[in-house]
Structure 1
Amino acid sequence: MEEIDLKQPEFYINRELSLLEFNRRVLEQAKDERVPLLERVRFLCISSTNLDEFFEVRVAGLKQKAGLGAVESGPDNMSAPEVLKEVNLRAHDLVDEQYRVLNDIMFPLLEQQGIRFIRRDDWNTSQKRWLRRFFNDSLHPVLSPMGLDPAHPFPRILNKSLNFIVALTGKDAFGRNSGLAVISAPRSLPRVIQLPADETDSGPYDFVFLSSVMHAFADVLFHGMKVEGLYQFRVTRNSELFVDEEEIDDLLRAVEGELLTRNYGDLVRLEVAHNCPQELVKFLEDQFVLADTDVYQVNGPVNLNRLAEVCDLVDRPDLKYPSFTPRLPQQLASKDVFKALVKRDVLLHLPFESFLPVIDFLRQAAEDAHVLAIKQTLYRTGPQSAVVDALVAAAHAGKEVTVVIELMARFDEEANVALAARLQRAGAHVVYGVVGYKTHAKMILVVRREGKRLRHYVHLGTGNYHPRTARIYTDYGLMTCNKAIGQDVQKVFNQLTSLGKVAKLNRLLHSPFTMHQAMLDKIEREIVHAGAGGGGRIIVKVNAVIDPQLIQALYRASQVGVEIDLIVRGMCRLRPGIPGVSDNIRVRSVIGRFLEHTRVFYFANGGEEEVYASSADWMERNMFRRVEVCFPIENKTLRERVKQDLAWYLKDNTQAWMLSADGSYALPQMDEGEEPFSAQQALLNELAES
């Protein structure tokens, strides 16, 4: 076989463009008539939120690279300016499509269901009277309009805040010609206002946008002057926190200091109303030192994510996904988690199974007189967390509680600082991970005295200890008292607290030390099996496949006949289906009701099958710049369960987008007579039957 250089740029998809392509797939869910209407609105909102983060992190990073004269953006060999140019083209198309979906699809369908967004021109007398009173009582007192002149320079605008540029005529209070003003809407104000039906002759679900109310009554804010035009705008800023690892001596104080400046990072995007005059658009561009390509003129609210409020305000179960109650594993029905785990391991599959056993595990540990110590990692857990409540209770009960909190969890830094303070007040030992290496592993260790021995009880997960996301993210959690695994978890915790070297682990793979090489070795082993006539089979389910070395290893495996299926929700840089390179690789992205978040690795291993679950994606950051763990599913019954789940995802022909070699995704074409099949629905059906 001819030698092929698997590092060639044409074998890689650009990371940023792959992420935009994922967001397009999310937006497609908003168009899918099989999805309940209010859930389609949520998908539109998710698409908007994802795009915000894309600009705050990815585009901001590209702009920094371009400013520094960076030549390459990874193995695809595109320069940062080249990527930025393509990102701008695709992002503008995506935003145009978002607002087309809003105006041409969502609004008409919602109105048909009695959910209306009433324009100013259509307000009846009662609605206008009520809204004027609402403006005077609830808006006017908290608004601070700022006229612009040499003594009142253009104000600093908060990241992603709602603002209005106002064109004025007439003389101000000091006899000068007025011109422009800016109004910032405090984040405490609702962006969508529900009209009270009994006071306004409205339907039960009639809404008005805050921007419409501002348009209608802004004259009140500029007494003696006339508002000629008022146009909403929003800016997006670089939101990455910068902590100089070589200079800091206190990570907590450094993060707290950076949080104060996050809202005023470098500007990367301007969104402005579609009807804003071009001279005002240009004025805003100049104020923010942005280029034309950084400006997005939109026909609707500048923050689509605010529409998610409506989904919660509208009580129409027929327009939402059917509710369900997560299953509680039969093994844990006795409520004594420790006794249950001594008998056999438990594998939780969220959200189809309940997160409650994890909380019960911690609560029992807090109350159990035989429990000596509890150790846990926290990456994201939410502000009001039953998990943290249990840890606080354990500390108050005199247990040795150690919590490794990752302060640099993006967009959760402030919440994690507050959690750290609460745990410290309770008497827990709190450490902040390792500077330069985010602690992304999901681990709980409970040390319990049983007779003359100490037993280790462990929970290892693929997702965060977050009760809310446990209802909407798919994740696995292994609960076990396996001695070898318990010892491994103890060693990893000791490293995180002492910073000492870890002795060889028995069962776990561990980033940034052994996991990357172990994955390469396991791929190589499948190559050997294939060469010996033993076939070779790999299935990987993750959120992203980015790492070039792992991609090259998969290419090599494909070339010798190893059958490879990748289930990659988000970014994937690998190109499947390239003749002679990736003929035997298939890539699918499942987008459905739940956010696919499990990380699972299956290796056939010549009949000695191995199944691993992990907190890590196949990205360079997970392999080299984070603390991660990868754990085996050794119980045969549980392993077969995971294999069945993977088989269902590979069978999915309704929500699985197939990746082509050119980087585009498409839903599969079903054969004649083929029945539609959804993996997530199959798992829900299994839940209903249990």
Structure 2
Amino acid sequence: MNAAAVDTATLDTDPLRDSNLYFNRELSQLDFNFRVLAQAQDPQVPLLERLRYLCISCTNLDEFFEIRAGTLRHAQDLGLAPGADGLPPATVLSRIHDRAAELVKAQYECWNEILRPALGDAGVRVLSRDAWDERQTQWLRAYFRDEIMPVLSPLGLDPAHPFPKILNKSLNIVVVLEGKDAFGRAGHLAIVRAPRSLPRIIQLPESISGGPHDFVFLSSVLSVFVDELFPGMKVKGAYQFRVTRNSELIVDEDEVENLALALRDELVGRGYLRAMRLEIAEQCPPPIVRTLLENFDLPENAVYRINGPVNLNRVIQVYDLVQRPELKFPPFQPRLLRDSETIFDRISDGDVLLHHPFDSFAPVLELIKQAAEDPNVLAIKQTLYRAGKDSPIVEQLVQAARNGKDVTVVVELRARFDEEANLGLADRLQDAGVQVVYGVVGYKTHAKMLLIVRREGRKLRRYVHLGTGNYHSGTARVYTDFGLLTADPDIGADVHQIFQQLSGLAPLIKLKRLLQSPFTLHAGVLKRIDRETRHAKAGKPARIIAKMNALNEPQVIRALYLASQAGVQIDLIVRGACTLRPGLPGISDNIRVRSIVGRFLEHHRVYWFGNDGDPDLFCSSADWLERNLLRRVETGFPILVPELAARVFDEALANYLADNLNAWELQSDGGYRRVTPQGDAPPHSAQASLLADLCG
């Protein structure tokens, strides 16, 4: 991540376009996982939660290769020009390998040297094959014969049996054989694929193991007993491996008549797209590795030799199987709204701000439930990006349609890794009579909007929910997000127009309160940054504070650089990738960037502009990324009630800027430095303080 020093003597007419002023997004995103892994290494975090963080870092790395690295490889094939950082895709891919190798090494050191021994000391043992005693070995052999062997289909490689297709991220064993089988065929190599129906973590019975929490990896069992699959032959070696493939679906929406059908076709082959990474047992001989690389058409630097299970993330099952409250974060009860006759009465009394997970998601569910049942409700319109399996929201929308409401749902079919689930829920909604819309060709609908039209006396009134996060009950308990419930007429009219635009062929619309991508959100952010710049040049107080998941949009970054040069004080709270380079004298020395990694996934997006004492504050579904600001349908919504705006500022901005326990500061060389309490400053965790203040 080290960037070369900026040579101001060689800058062109627009010095803020110099590539040395920008970090690479992919490398910045990859580095986020080191901050996640640091939570697994932190002895102050409960032990099973540390295990969870380790697994998250592994799963994140999988997705990074599936999406970010896969997209880079595609860009390399197409000969696309570098981005603002000036690095060609081939260079980035090479640097990804080096940095990912460091991460993998750190992950397995954390597992082998820290977490596995600590778990064992706490009575949670994940036993390696050399630790099995005789009784455990006998039980596992019987388990292999009874539960595993019947579903395996080993494939010996010869001219009649070419290398099989290997599914993305599946567990496999390559077996080196010696001797001949019943047909007189000489053995050399065989592949054993572990079906997805098999559990990757096997729990030993307490009667066999002597403890209630003893586990074994399926990969260990396969490797030890694989000889039983090849009677009469000698197994010279068995080595687990796993291949990660590009999983980015590419559908030319302009060339298809039915996006849903096109996606269904693409999903069939997703698991067998281009290989991006090969993980293999550390001791696997080089000739076997070369054979695998040739089969997967991978270069040497795509190999990651693993000192442990290749699917380490599967140990997350231990977290769920072990009910030891003292080894996990203490439970909490989200705050509920005060009682009202109906949720409509509560919203009529004034806007409601929900701060998840500290505030319950129940009011959102209750709003949809009451709308489905209320005879005065005429119409419900909602966007769904990720709803989750067995979503109660989908159930209520189905019920609303059956109750005669006019229900329109904008389902984003291209929500990454949720495409299949969203196709299923779209079918279910359509079968119930819901009007399902797939959004706008070329633009993912990422906005989080709910609109309810209700007859009250002689008038129709609009009730709205706008959020920074998805309509997903599960993530609402582990992601930090804001939701606004309002009956404000202007906001209601804006949301209505956006839905009309999404479901029809409406012209460009002029909104009163909301900012909308791809039309006014980008310009609105630039306009407000420029306003702060002008305030600073006029000698007025000028300040910008923004919180988001990622930042890479070059025009926004250049505007922030100009604001910094004018004297605007800028604090950015960016959880993941950030391509802005802070702390450069004369360019970004008034910009500070921090990342918060804690118990909950930081997910809300908040933009605050000081505006000489009359601040603007927006919550949004959009990060300051090119895709969100320019190629998606997003919303930014103002918090109009001063008391609620003050809450957002205090809880999500000032609170997080004061964090000195879970914060990391981005340095001008691209590294992150962990923040610690300085001087007399007391320790402060933003998330812990919210738990204490809102849920205590």
The TM-score range, normalised by the shorter chain, is: over 0.9
- 1:108 corresponds to: 117
TM superposition shift of 1:335? 5.2
RMSD: 1.3
Are the aligned partners of 1:403 and 1:430 in contact in 2 as well (CA < 8 Å)? yes
Matches within 5 A, 1:270-419: 270-330=278-338, 333-334=339-340, 336-419=342-425
One-letter code of the match for 2:260? L
Unmatched runs of 5 consecutive residues or more in structure 1: none
Q: Work out which of the residue numbers 204, 219, 222 in structure 2 matches 1:211.
A: 219
Q: Work out which of the residue numbers 244, 247, 265 in structure 2 matches 1:257.
A: 265
Q: Work out which of the residue numbers 266, 269, 276 in structure 2 matches 1:268.
A: 276
Q: Work out which of the residue numbers 45, 51, 55 in structure 1 matches 2:61.
A: 51
- 1:232 corresponds to: 240
SS at match of 2:159: coil
Q: Work out which of the residue numbers 11, 28, 31 in structure 2 matches 1:21.
A: 31
Are the aligned partners of 1:383 and 1:419 in contact in 2 as well (CA < 8 Å)? no
- 2:4 corresponds to: none
Distance 2:510 2:441 in 1: 23
58-67 vs 238-247, which deviates more?
A: 58-67
Distance 1:342 1:334 in 2: 11
TM superposition shift of 1:70? 3.4
Matches within 5 A, 1:165-180: 165-180=174-189
- 1:613 corresponds to: 619
Are the aligned partners of 2:358 and 2:695 in contact in 1 as well (CA < 8 Å)? no
577-586 vs 672-681, which deviates more?
A: 672-681
Q: Work out which of the residue numbers 74, 77, 102 in structure 2 matches 1:67.
A: 77
Q: Deviations over 1:519-538 (max 9, x none)?
A: 00001111111122211111
- 2:683 corresponds to: 676
Distance 1:271 1:335 in 2: 58
TM, length-normalised to structure 1 = 0.98
Are the aligned partners of 1:541 and 1:599 in contact in 2 as well (CA < 8 Å)? yes
Distance 2:253 2:406 in 1: 30
One-letter code of the match for 2:675? P
Query: Does residue 586 of structure 2 align to residue 576 of structure 1?
Result: no
SS at match of 1:144: coil
Are the aligned partners of 1:443 and 1:460 in contact in 2 as well (CA < 8 Å)? yes
- 1:658 corresponds to: 665
SS at match of 2:400: helix
Are the aligned partners of 1:159 and 1:237 in contact in 2 as well (CA < 8 Å)? yes
539-548 vs 218-227, which deviates more?
A: 218-227
Q: Deviations over 1:634-665 (max 9, x none)?
A: 00110110111111100001101000111110
Distance 1:412 1:263 in 2: 14
- 2:164 corresponds to: 155
Distance 2:369 2:209 in 1: 51
One-letter code of the match for 1:609? P
Distance 2:498 2:72 in 1: 35
SS at match of 2:466: strand
Distance 1:387 1:185 in 2: 36
- 1:630 corresponds to: 636
SS at match of 1:676: coil
TM superposition shift of 1:217? 1.5
SS at match of 1:570: coil
Identity %: 57
Are the aligned partners of 1:564 and 1:585 in contact in 2 as well (CA < 8 Å)? yes
Distance 1:328 1:541 in 2: 25
Q: Deviations over 1:209-257 (max 9, x none)?
A: 1111112221221121122211110001110111012210001001111
- 1:96 corresponds to: 105
SS at match of 2:17: coil
Distance 1:82 1:349 in 2: 42
Q: Work out which of the residue numbers 84, 92, 106 in structure 1 matches 2:93.
A: 84
Distance 2:633 2:14 in 1: 34
Query: Does residue 45 of structure 2 align to residue 35 of structure 1?
Result: yes
- 1:191 corresponds to: 200
Q: Deviations over 1:571-620 (max 9, x none)?
A: 10111110001111110000000000000000111111111000000011
TM superposition shift of 1:503? 2.4
295-304 vs 122-131, which deviates more?
A: 122-131
Runs of 4+ in 1 over 4 A off after TM superposition: 1-4
Are the aligned partners of 1:577 and 1:660 in contact in 2 as well (CA < 8 Å)? yes
TM superposition shift of 1:669? 4.1
Q: Deviations over 1:447-478 (max 9, x none)?
A: 00011110000000000001110010000000
TM superposition shift of 1:4? 6.6
User: CA distance change for structure 1 residues 520 and 71 in 2, over 3 Å: closer, same or farther?
Assistant: closer
TM superposition shift of 1:131? 1.2
TM superposition shift of 1:71? 4.1
TM superposition shift of 1:283? 1.2
Distance 1:119 1:24 in 2: 26
Are the aligned partners of 2:81 and 2:88 in contact in 1 as well (CA < 8 Å)? yes
Query: Does residue 491 of structure 2 align to residue 481 of structure 1?
Result: no
Q: Deviations over 1:496-538 (max 9, x none)?
A: 0002114210100010011100100001111111122211111
- 2:128 corresponds to: 119
TM superposition shift of 1:120? 2.2
Are the aligned partners of 2:334 and 2:695 in contact in 1 as well (CA < 8 Å)? no
Distance 1:70 1:118 in 2: 48
Distance 1:177 1:611 in 2: 72
One-letter code of the match for 2:534? V
- 1:247 corresponds to: 255
Are the aligned partners of 1:350 and 1:475 in contact in 2 as well (CA < 8 Å)? yes
SS at match of 1:183: strand
SS at match of 1:296: strand
662-671 vs 313-322, which deviates more?
A: 662-671
SS at match of 1:261: helix
Are the aligned partners of 1:492 and 1:502 in contact in 2 as well (CA < 8 Å)? no
Distance 1:5 1:398 in 2: 60
Matches within 5 A, 1:126-137: 126-137=135-146
User: CA distance change for structure 1 residues 308 and 342 in 2, over 3 Å: closer, same or farther?
Assistant: same
User: CA distance change for structure 1 residues 203 and 566 in 2, over 3 Å: closer, same or farther?
Assistant: same
Are the aligned partners of 1:491 and 1:502 in contact in 2 as well (CA < 8 Å)? no
One-letter code of the match for 2:690? L
Q: Work out which of the residue numbers 10, 14, 23 in structure 1 matches 2:20.
A: 10
- 1:490 corresponds to: 496
Matches within 5 A, 1:459-470: 459-470=465-476
Distance 1:201 1:408 in 2: 46
Are the aligned partners of 1:654 and 1:678 in contact in 2 as well (CA < 8 Å)? yes
Are the aligned partners of 2:54 and 2:107 in contact in 1 as well (CA < 8 Å)? yes
- 2:5 corresponds to: none
One-letter code of the match for 1:529? H
Are the aligned partners of 2:466 and 2:485 in contact in 1 as well (CA < 8 Å)? yes
SS at match of 2:556: helix
